[in-house]
Amino acid sequence: MSWLPINRDSKFYDFIYSVTEIILAPIRLLIKKSVFANTTYAYDLSPLIALLLISGMQYFLRIYVV
């Protein structure tokens, strides 16, 4: 949320950070342990990976569970 003009000391910021960090922190850890850890990239790709994982899980559940 660094691109939004939000006060980082607010309760809203703390709430959003705590909710999203539950999903993004493990993905960031996996990226650090992967082959991409030695490469330097300027962007945090964990939100994109999280969206792809969530979309894949929705597709799987829609096709195979329901």
Task: Give the pLDDT confidence of 45-64 residue by residue, as tens digits.
Answer: 899 999 999 999 999 999 98
Tell me how many degrees the CA angle 28-50-7 measures, rounded to the nearest 5: 75
When computed from its CA atoms, the radius of gyration of the chain, rounded to whole angstroms, is 15
CA-CA distance, 16 to 29, in Å (whole number)?
A: 20
Taking only the tens place, the pLDDT of each residue in 6-35 is 777 889 889 988 999 999 999 989 988 887
CA count, 13 A, side-chain hemisphere, 23: 14
Residue 37: pLDDT band by 50, 70, 90 thresholds? low
- The model's pTM is 0.73
Query: For residue 6, what pLDDT is reported?
Result: 73
